[in-house]
């Protein structure tokens, strides 16, 4: 019903140069509680947030490239409010 989002992170996001699709996905991910885990399902994102499949894929790629979404060796992802240093080479 309501969410809490870090205002400083949101301000940084607004100047990140990311496209609207990536910002929308960031908002979707940031709206979950810290430590919340769920399957990053294109079907869920499409249904709940109105993404098309191709828009979801581009947004996900944008967040990975900007280091907000970090792929893990097990095929999962970790989401961060702030971009992470590119220190993961899997």
Q: How confident is the model at residue 66 (pLDDT cuts 50, 70, 90)?
A: very high
Contact, 58 vs 24, CB < 8 A?
Answer: no
SS3 47: helix
Question: What does pTM read for this prediction?
Answer: 0.84
List the chain domain ranges: 18-79
Cross-strand partners of 77: 71
pLDDT confidence of residue 87: 59
Among the four given CATH numbers 3.30.200, 1.10.10, 1.10.4160, 1.20.120, the one describing domain 18-79: 1.10.10
- The mean predicted confidence, pLDDT, of the chain is 86
Mean pLDDT of 72-90: 80
* Backbone dihedral angles phi then psi of residue 18, each to the nearest 5 degrees: -70, 150
Instruction: Provide the 10 A C-beta neighbour count for residue 25.
Output: 25
pLDDT confidence of residue 20: 94
Mean pLDDT of 20-26: 95
pLDDT confidence of residue 18: 96
Structure tokens, 76 = 């999962």
């Amino acid at each position: 019903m309501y969410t809490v989002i870090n205002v400083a992170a949101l301000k940084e996001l607004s100047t990140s140069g990311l496209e609207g699709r990536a910002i929308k996905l960031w908002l979707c991910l940031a709206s979950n509680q810290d430590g919340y885990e769920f399957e990053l399902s294109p079907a869920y994102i499409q249904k709940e947030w109105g993404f098309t499949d191709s828009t979801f894929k581009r947004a996900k790629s944008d967040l990975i490239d900007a280091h907000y979404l970090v792929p893990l060796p097990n095929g999962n992802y970790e989401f961060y409010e702030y971009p992470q240093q590119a220190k993961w080479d899997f």
